[in-house]
Structure 1
Amino acid sequence: MSLTVISQTELRNLGASDLKISALGLGTWQFSKGNGFVGGFWPVLEKQEIEEIIQISLRGGINWFDTAEAYGRGKSEEALADVLNGLGDEAKDALIATKWWPALRTAKSIRQTINQRLQSLKGREIDLYMVHQPFSFSSATAEMNEMAVLLKEGKINHVGVSNFNEKKMREAHLALKRQGFPLVSNQMKYSLLDRRIEKNGVLDAAKELGITIIAYSPLEQGILTGKFHKKPELIKNITGPRKLASGFKTSALQRTQPLIDLLDNLAQEYNVSASQIALNWTIHFHGDTIVAIPGATKKHHAEENIGTLTFRLSDKHLAEIDKVSKEVSVR
């Protein structure tokens, strides 16, 4: 077959901004150091392990990292910043996206807590600041008005949201537009096994408004690697409540087997891995609209991620994966 090889990492604009990002970022939920409820989803990583993962990512062309206040109550932000600062010039242009946690708070908390975020990031800039969830005691408009103040003060560089449905995303977009700024992103769960944003209006609205979709869980907690289909006994070794996800059930593994088989076949044809095929589809099927933030808890996960950026699936194979995915994915 004719393989499209990408010799240099292609960068995209983040939404309607002039900020250039790689089609893959690195999700850093797993840097939570076991703190808080969400930190318990992952094994505790040592600083050296985190440094290796970040360094491999940077050297492979990933130029941005996604974290959040809720990831270990700031421990992920701190771990990320420590490593980036320690790498010196190698990481001087690395970009950071982080998120404000809205539960049981009002929009005023966005400005009240921004110094905590900056302190956790130890001198790094907040290139993208997002509202982590659509629920708080305030409206999306009020939240965006607070974000606009931070933009004007230079404390953050761009604004996004996360898990916002079409209606709330449009509201946030309009509120920021009135203040003279674009809403650049909406971080949503999206993968070959969960394509709900294609049906509920979020993706169409994002394309219309020039908003980048940041796909989290693009490998469905590892399910799209195929390793759990081949060795279901590995599921019992998963740390924390992640193992309770519906995709790990026997019936779900059986339903999704045809997709895994296709990914495996294409992996052999392209001389890559099944996970790289899945990620490559995610960042190319809808043009430049969708970028993805796979995580990495081991060096080889980071190496897998960056390998995704070295090739491009053919239009024929993008369509073939699309067809099988729709037959087995969440609707």
Structure 2
Amino acid sequence: MQLRRLGRTGRELSPIGLGCMQFSNTGAAGRFYRATAQDTATAIVRAALDGGVTWFDTAEMYGGGHSERALTTALREHGVKPGEVAIATKWQPVGRTARSIPATIGDRLAALQDFPIDLHQIHMPHGSLSSIPAQVKAMARLQTDGKVGAVGVSNFSAAQMRRAAAVLEGEGLALASNQIQLNLLHRNAETDGVLAAARDLGVTLIAFSPLRSGLLTGKFHDDPERLKQVLPIRRWIGGFGPRAIERTRPLIDELTAIGRAHGASPSQIALAWLLAYYGDTVVAIPGASRPEQAAELAAAAELRLTDAETAALDARSRAATAS
């Protein structure tokens, strides 16, 4: 699997990582997925590793450390040693000041069972009682002190990205990443300045929800009754519903047809498009609730679409999102 550099750091990552929000089990994030048993999480991580995945994204907010512990428990059960894979986690800013960034780093390392934090991210730009510059400076000190490998942000606008990058530059550091929603049905980064800012600054965009909460898998188009099995909050955020199914059907049909030509699933083609269309600026972190899903999604990094296939999906995507 050809690796991609994380921002301007020397760290290289597989184009597809594993998002670990599905390991939350409790708290607000736990409402998005049904609980995942540890043996299932362990099997999912094994499948991802076997598929060439070299990094994992988790967060403090994902079950208050439950996701972090489930991930690193799985890694240890497979004999993976600290430092052999990359781990990205996130500080939860809501209702906190920047002082909690250094105050909670010990909790993060404890939840990660002493696996190092290769990328520490500010989970969102709002909710903190401190300014963005104050938060970024606190993150910078962690990197300078060797407690984290790099600093990233999540859900930041173009202006907020540039502000964070400027603060880090003043500390002799560089902003590594911005984690945003990016997929065939959500391409706001192209028009809101985030993609342009990322390319200008040399920042990696980490695409969360690269399959639009499962809508791009095609399984709901094949059997709309399956929508009833999706937890309400995911249905709402993913924009699931009969009208969405019909509006996106031509795109799913295109994904399916191209998939047949490659012996691949619509999910794999959607991920392959994301990696091809945006190039080295983007890496993706699909989640997986079963090991076979993790294996399938990891394999998408090896697919190579033709220019015509990439263009056809671009056109179908724009038509599906035009309204």
TM bucket by the smaller chain? over 0.9
SS of corresponding position for 2:279:
coil
SS of corresponding position for 1:141:
helix
Among the aligned pairs, what percent are the same residue?
43
Q: 2:54 maps to which residue?
A: 63
User: Quick check: 1:58–1:91 contact (8 Å CA) kept in 2?
Assistant: no
> 2: CA distance between counterparts of 1:54 and 1:79?
10
> 2: CA distance between counterparts of 1:87 and 1:273?
28
> 2: CA distance between counterparts of 1:58 and 1:312?
21
Q: 1:37 maps to which residue?
A: 28
Q: 1:199 aligns with which of 191, 196, 203?
A: 191
- Superposed CA offset, 1:227-281 (max 9, x none): 1111110011123521233521111111111100100100101111000000001
Answering whether residue 188 of structure 2 is matched by residue 184 of structure 1, we say no
> 1: CA distance between counterparts of 2:130 and 2:307?
44
SS of corresponding position for 2:239:
helix
> 2: CA distance between counterparts of 1:176 and 1:53?
35
Q: 1:16 maps to which residue?
A: 8
Q: 2:108 aligns with which of 111, 114, 117?
A: 117
SS of corresponding position for 1:248:
coil
Answering whether residue 296 of structure 2 is matched by residue 291 of structure 1, we say no
Q: 1:27 maps to which residue?
A: 19
TM-score by length of 2: 0.97
Q: 1:77 maps to which residue?
A: 68
Q: Sort the Cα spacing of 1:210 and 1:161 in 2 relative to 1 into closer, same or farther, 3 A.
A: same
SS of corresponding position for 1:188:
strand
Q: Sort the Cα spacing of 1:11 and 1:66 in 2 relative to 1 into closer, same or farther, 3 A.
A: same
Deviates more, 1:220-229 or 1:321-330: 321-330
| Structure 1 position 90, deviation (Å) | 7.2
Q: 1:5 maps to which residue?
A: none
> 1: CA distance between counterparts of 2:218 and 2:145?
47
| Structure 1 position 99, deviation (Å) | 0.1
> 2: CA distance between counterparts of 1:123 and 1:240?
36
- Superposed CA offset, 1:205-233 (max 9, x none): 10111000000000011100011111110
SS of corresponding position for 2:108:
helix
| Structure 1 position 286, deviation (Å) | 1.3
Q: Which amino acid aligns with 2:100?
A: S
User: Quick check: 2:17–2:286 contact (8 Å CA) kept in 1?
Assistant: yes
- Superposed CA offset, 1:66-116 (max 9, x none): 000000111000111111122224775111000000011111111111111
Q: Which amino acid aligns with 1:60?
A: G
TM-score by length of 1: 0.95
Q: 2:225 maps to which residue?
A: 233
Q: 1:172 aligns with which of 152, 164, 167?
A: 164
SS of corresponding position for 1:82:
helix
Structure 1 unmatched runs, 5+: 1-8
Q: 1:154 maps to which residue?
A: 146
CA RMSD of aligned residues (A): 1.3
Q: Sort the Cα spacing of 1:238 and 1:206 in 2 relative to 1 into closer, same or farther, 3 A.
A: same
Q: 1:218 maps to which residue?
A: 210
SS of corresponding position for 1:313:
coil
Which structure 2 residues correspond to residues 84-163 of structure 1 after superposition, within 5 A?
84-89=75-80, 93-135=84-126, 136-163=128-155
| Structure 1 position 310, deviation (Å) | 2.0
SS of corresponding position for 1:24:
coil
Q: Sort the Cα spacing of 1:108 and 1:92 in 2 relative to 1 into closer, same or farther, 3 A.
A: closer
User: Quick check: 2:213–2:238 contact (8 Å CA) kept in 1?
Assistant: no
Which structure 2 residues correspond to residues 47-62 of structure 1 after superposition, within 5 A?
47-62=38-53
| Structure 1 position 172, deviation (Å) | 0.2
Structure 2 unmatched runs, 5+: none
